[in-house]
Amino acid sequence: ISPMQSNLSPIPELFVSYDSAQKLKTEAGELTSHDLSPRQICDLELLMNGGFAPLKGFLGEEDYNSVVDTMRLADGTLWPMPITLDVSEKFADGIELGQDIALRDQEGVILATMTVTDKWVPNKAHEAEKVFGADDDAHPAVNYLHNKAGAVYLGGPVTGIQQPVHYDFKARRDTPNELRAYFRKMGWRRVVAFQTRNPLHRAHQELTFRAAREAQANLLIHPVVGMTKPGDVDHFTRVRCYEAVQDKYPAATTTMSLLPLAMRMAGPREAVWHGLIRKNYGCTHFIVGRDHAGPGKNSAGDDFYGPYDAQDLFREHQDEMGIEMVDFKHMVYVQERAQYEPADEIADKDNVTILNISGTELRRRLREGLEIPEWFSFPEVVKELRRTSPPRSQQGFTVFFTGFSGSGKSTIANALMVKLMEMGGRPVTLLDGDIVRKNLSSELGFSKEHRDLNIRRIGYVASEITKNGGIAICAPIAPYSATRRAVREDIESFGAFVEVHVATSLEECERRDRKGLYKLAREGKIKEFTGISDPYDEPKNPELRLDTESVDVDNCAHQVLLKLEAMGLIAA
């Protein structure tokens, strides 16, 4: 392997010239259009700009099968990741082989055309096993494969019309040819790339400095801003974090550029893929650390891959790839020496204090507003992270009451709202069943479909309120557990979801019959009435269950407050 860049000349792109693009764009208006998913937009950008060279388009069936089974294209070229264009069965039915289609972004802008040469139904379980190591939905890419991707794949060469439009951090985005040109201009013959989906803390700085020293190379910080692992710090925050520590890196030897890659979290195969991409971006060396592109635990609670599997696979192929690995063991902080060291190189382990803060622990400290020590991260980074993840007592959340009609949901919800408003600090919105049905869902009835729609709308509004730091109190019947779970998932990506089961029995609700509805339901004058002629799935694990039969409203609302306090959502 030559550690020198033998070739900083331009890499082939799939774009046509500006004039041809204008013409093609007009003509493509007539073509059948496929609206690209966010992941497909990322893939297309790297196909078009040469990041995925030598690919010329989305894989055809023969290449796909070969990549899945052997990590190579049909002609033998090393390529570990299937780059496929998944579409719905309905869309595929209308496509004939040889047909050109337009590929549009989510606003309808035509980015490229593709000549469809292949159309097939992939064996997704096989793809999952081979590429990701297990057909287990706990793996984010396997989950995507089974639950998001369309059933049919289309393959064929792509003709690039324009880059996807980015409005954020434009100056920090470079194509492979732009980075190659920069390296050429700066005279950087050896460049080591650091791939990351996380903010840079001190351990990363130490690791990248060591790598640059070891490889005697310049350093490219090359963070992924396309799609990373669900739950990661969003890329806006991360880029602000990177910018905040730029001056900790010597400008003469280091640069930073954003990579619009959609990661798959495929560990070993992903490491090889990342290496090939960095080669295309003009790098000579690539850092692979512990658990590179790891997807987390499988559904049995075990790791999908061994911590150094990615390094092993990379090592096996690096000669062929033409990019050299700089491998690192886990870096930890040695207190006595006040520095980071690779965990496996510490000879006097038993006589020194080794400190480490895991990603999970860091998130906990941020959530609870606890200290994050300077040996772990830079104050500038911590400040940015705290701006995005304030402590729980300052974040938005949703309290979701569920129970029979007449169980007391609205009354308790109202009391809770007033108590929270008395405390102040965050805006509070009450989305009571009746209010929602008047303002948001006035056209809906009580069929399963309509109830679901009603709850999804409430969930959407509550998730927006939660995202923006407010408190949403919802009080619908919400009889179906699957719908409640879906709403929980929507909201939990922004803040806490506190499910409160108002567990008043049906008999008691019917005995009270405040609105006289139970009587009408018994007489068959109201159809599909919850508890009488329509089901109610009792919540199995609500955050709180309230007994209203022996406790008054004020006390019920107080119990909710105590729960919120215990969860850290309101200050004690």
What character string, x for contact with ligand PPS (CB under 6 A) and - otherwise, covers 449-488? --x--xx--------------------xxxx---------
> If 0-12 CB within 10 Å is exposed, 13-18 middle and 19+ buried, where does residue 282 land?
buried
Contact between residue 461 and residue 432 where contact means Cβ atoms under 8 Å apart = no
CA–CA distance, 572 with 562 (Å, rounded to integer): 9
Written as one string, the DSSP assignment of 108-163 is: S-EEEEEE--EEE---HHHHIIIIISS--TTSHHHHHHHHTS-SEEEEEEEEE--P
> Taking the C-alpha atoms of 12, 15, 20 and 23 in order, what is their torsion angle to the nearest 10 degrees?
160
According to the binding rule CB under 6 A, does residue 503 interact with ligand PPS? no
Select the residue interacting with ligand PPS from 529, 539, 543, 556 (CB under 6 A). 529
Select the residue interacting with ligand PPS from 528, 545, 561, 567 (CB under 6 A). 528
Give whichever of 160 and 531 is closer to ligand PPS, judged by the CB atom. 531
According to the binding rule CB under 6 A, does residue 238 interact with ligand PPS? no
CA–CA distance, 223 with 258 (Å, rounded to integer): 5
Chain positions 388 to 407 lying near ligand PPS, rule: CB under 6 A, are 405-406
Terminal C-alpha separation, the chain: 61
What character string, x for contact with ligand PPS (CB under 6 A) and - otherwise, covers 56-85? ------------------------------
Minimum Å gap between C-beta 523 and ligand PPS is 13
Minimum Å gap between C-beta 501 and ligand PPS is 14
According to the binding rule CB under 6 A, does residue 504 interact with ligand PPS? no
Strand order in the sheet with 428-432: 428-432, 471-475, 397-402, 496-502, 544-546
Give whichever of 148 and 514 is closer to ligand PPS, judged by the CB atom. 514
Select the residue interacting with ligand PPS from 75, 168, 368, 434 (CB under 6 A). 434
Phi, psi for 435 (deg, rounded to 5): -65, -45
According to the binding rule CB under 6 A, does residue 208 interact with ligand PPS? no
According to the binding rule CB under 6 A, does residue 11 interact with ligand PPS? no
CA–CA distance, 56 with 112 (Å, rounded to integer): 12
Count CA atoms closer than 13 A to 236's CA, side-chain side: 6
The verdict on whether omega for the bond into residue 164 sits within 30 degrees of 0, i.e. cis, is no
Q: How many residues bind ligand PPS (CB under 6 A)?
A: 21
Residue with smallest beta-carbon separation from ligand PPS? 433
Give whichever of 50 and 433 is closer to ligand PPS, judged by the CB atom. 433
CA–CA distance, 22 with 20 (Å, rounded to integer): 5
According to the binding rule CB under 6 A, does residue 175 interact with ligand PPS? no
Select the residue interacting with ligand PPS from 332, 517, 544, 556 (CB under 6 A). 517
According to the binding rule CB under 6 A, does residue 430 interact with ligand PPS? no
CA–CA distance, 332 with 341 (Å, rounded to integer): 6
Give the range of 15-23, 105-113, 186-194, 433-441 binding ligand PPS by CB under 6 A: 433-441
Give whichever of 267 and 479 is closer to ligand PPS, judged by the CB atom. 479
Contact between residue 294 and residue 271 where contact means Cβ atoms under 8 Å apart = no
Select the residue interacting with ligand PPS from 260, 433, 459, 542 (CB under 6 A). 433
DSSP state of 360: H
Amino acid letter for position 469: G
Give whichever of 225 and 521 is closer to ligand PPS, judged by the CB atom. 521
Give me the residues that bind ligand PPS (CB under 6 A), please: 405-406, 410, 433-434, 437, 446, 451, 454-455, 476-479, 515, 517, 526, 528-530, 534
